């Protein structure tokens, strides 16, 4: 084989490799933008439904698409297309209204027109207390090796959706004014009621979340690892991967 032919074949091989890489990146971009996007949980605001170190897929199509469905919020339109409203109890990833770029994950508690209030740690919706029952104690190792303890309360919303919340004691978020959710907005709360910057908390940057700020619905935990470990430290997986949480569907 001549040197010229070898160089030509080498260039063809490099070009094919570049094409495969570009096609793979474009496919990943399409999947991430329109179908599913992976997210990791960096804080304990949704404990114990979601733990630090959980990795989950969020469906981008559940509520339709807005400019925030696209990377860096660069969607070429305003509002929302193919829109479908979230239901009370959905776990939602959204862009923080205060800066339009930070991703938050909370549970939808209030729909447009709802009146939301906390009284003595009890959630009230439209003047009625939400049904709840104590189901035991939650114990988790904290980020500094400390032990986190909380009471587990099972809440059931008026539409029948049930989920667990944590109560660690009396905090400012246990008693609030009454919030009336404006049209086109949603009221978000974390399941870890005493450790969540959400729509109840003035200065949190959350407030009432506009519909077009919703990124998608949390669907499934595909991987989970103890917060003290890193996912790339595969040699620690036998003792740090939370196998029981993997492939867990979310409400």
Rounded Cα distance between 102 and 215, Å, is 11
From the list 45, 69, 199, 224, the catalytic residue is 45
- How many Cβ atoms sit within 10 Å of the Cβ of residue 114? 16
Q: For residue 91, which of 221, 233, 212 has the smallest C-alpha distance?
A: 221
Specify whether 66 is catalytic: no
The two tokens of residue 8 are: 């030509």
Catalytic residue among 60, 67, 106, 217: 106
> DSSP letters of 78-133?
SS-BS--PPPTT-EEEEE-TTTS--EEEEEEEE-TT-EEEEETTEEEETTEEPEEE
**Residue 106 bears catalytic tag:** yes
Answer for the pair 93, 195: CB distance below 8 angstroms, yes or no. Answer: no
- Within 10 angstroms of residue 132's Cβ, the number of other Cβ atoms is 17
Distance separating alpha carbons of residues 148 and 131, to the nearest angstrom? 25
The residues that are catalytic are: 45, 106
């Amino acid at each position: 084989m001549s040197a010229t032919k070898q160089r030509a074949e080498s260039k063809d091989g490099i070009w094919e490799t570049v094409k495969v890489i570009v096609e793979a990146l474009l496919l990943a971009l399409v999947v991430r933008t329109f179908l599913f996007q992976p997210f990791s949980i960096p804080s304990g605001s949704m404990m114990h439904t979601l733990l630090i170190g959980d990795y989950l897929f969020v469906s981008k199509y559940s509520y339709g698409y807005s400019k925030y469905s696209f990377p860096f919020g660069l969607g070429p339109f305003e509002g929302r297309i193919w829109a479908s409203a979230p239901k009370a109890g959905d776990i939602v990833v959204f862009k923080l209204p205060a800066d339009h770029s930070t991703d938050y994950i909370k549970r939808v508690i209030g729909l447009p027109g709802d009146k939301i209030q906390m009284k003595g740690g009890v959630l009230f919706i439209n003047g009625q207390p939400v049904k709840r029952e104590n189901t035991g104690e939650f114990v988790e190792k904290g980020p500094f090796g400390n032990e986190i303890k909380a009471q587990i309360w099972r809440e059931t919303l008026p539409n029948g959706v049930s989920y667990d919340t944590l109560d660690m004691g009396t905090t400012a978020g246990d008693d609030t004014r009454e919030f009336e959710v404006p049209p086109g907005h949603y009221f978000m709360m974390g399941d870890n009621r005493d450790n969540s910057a959400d729509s109840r908390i003035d200065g949190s940057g959350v407030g009432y979340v506009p519909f077009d700020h919703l990124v998608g619905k949390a669907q499934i935990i595909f991987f989970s690892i103890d917060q003290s470990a890193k996912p790339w430290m595969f040699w620690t997986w036998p003792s740090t991967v939370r196998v029981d949480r993997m492939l867990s569907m979310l409400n």
